[in-house]
Structure formats: structure tokens, C-alpha cells
Amino acid sequence: TRFRNVTGVQTCALPISDHFLVRLSFGSSSVSLEEMRLQETLQVKQKLLLAAMTAAQAEHDKAAKLLADHLDSVTYASRLQKNLLVPNELLNKRFSEFRAIWEPREIVGGDIYWTTSSVSEQDEHFSLALFDCTGHGVPGAMLSLLVTSAIDRIFANHPEIAPDAALMAVDGSLRAALHQRGTGSDIDDG
């Protein structure tokens, strides 16, 4: 066994095996090798826990920003979809009283109402349609946009079209836009 004194701290070097209890003296205190191992293990675990918590917080912040970005995007899409709806003031010109409540299950949705764009008191005929497109949320909203676009085109080209023919034309337009060919199509939305 060798002892030496380094700047006032006494250290010792002993052969270590299962048969020896090693105590190192630092100043006036005495700490066993097992206590030192436990303290070092605790410090390592604390550092690992802190690193894991920091990483988890960073992932949480990233997920929160991603969610906020998505919600902002869908909320903006809702404003656009609401602007596709016919204003009540326009329909009140044709009806003594007209009220519509549009509440999609999610922020946006597949249900929409539509009318020919030139609804006025002088028009002898006009068309009003209620559409329930496949899906809720963003998929339904995308289909409602396609339906609105299709029916606008159909009535612009054929203002006197019968309702059944208009619905068949909308169906054909959607199937063409979504590349739905025959019964083997991947999707059957509309």
C-alpha cells in the first residue's frame, strides 16, 4: 500500500477485490468506493434524465408548432369554404325568409349549399342545391370545392338544365376530375 499527499488531499492506492473495503479520504471525510459509484451513477442518470427532458420538450415544441400551423391552415380554409356559401341576403331576395346554419363536424366539411349565381327577383327560374359530399374535414371540404366548381361550370354553360341532368353532369365531372374509371377505381368518392 502506498500513500501520498497531493496539495493537502490524502489519497491511497489499494489492490481492489471482493475481499477489500476501500475507503478514500478527502480531507477529513471518508467515502467508500460503493458510495462513490452510487453518486457517480446518480449524476450520470440525472444528466441522462435532463437530456431526455430537454429532447422531449424540443419535440413537444416542434409538435405544438406543427399543430398550430395545421390549425391555422384549416381555419383559413374554413374562411374560404364559408365564402363559397350563398349569402343569406341574396337568397332573401327570392324567399320571404331564409336562414341557413352551416356547422361542419370539423372546422371544414363536405356539406355545402349552392345556388345559381344570378339569383335576383327578376329571374324567373333559379336553382338551389344542397350537397353532402363524401367525408368530413379536409377531404369533404376538397370535394365540396370540386362540386361547387363543377356545378358553376354546368349552369354557366346550360342555364336551363333540369335538376336530374345537372346532378348527372356533376357526378360525371367529379368522376373525371378524380380519374374514377369504372368499378376498379381506387376511390368512389363524390
Return the pLDDT at 96.
79
* Percentage of the chain exceeding pLDDT 90: 39
Q: Is 26 helix (H, G, I), strand (E, B) or coil?
A: strand
Tell whether the model's pLDDT for residue 148 goes beyond 80: yes
**Beta-carbon contacts of residue 62 (< 8 Å; ≥ 6 apart):** none
Quick one: 129 exposed, middle or buried, by C-beta within 10 A (0-12, 13-18, 19+)?
middle
pTM for this predicted structure: 0.65
Give the tens place of pLDDT for each residue, 53-112. 999 999 999 999 999 999 999 999 999 999 888 888 888 877 778 788 888 888 999 998
Give the tens place of pLDDT for each residue, 3-16. 444 445 444 555 55
d(CA 10, CA 2): 11
Return the pLDDT at 107.
92
Residue 123: pLDDT band (50, 70, 90) is low
Give the tens place of pLDDT for each residue, 172-184. 998 888 888 766 6
* Percentage of the chain exceeding pLDDT 70: 75
Return the pLDDT at 88.
80
More confident residue, 153 or 10: 153
Return the pLDDT at 69.
96
Return the pLDDT at 168.
94
Q: CA-based Rg of the chain, rounded to a whole angstrom?
A: 37
Return the pLDDT at 17.
54
Amino acid at 178: L
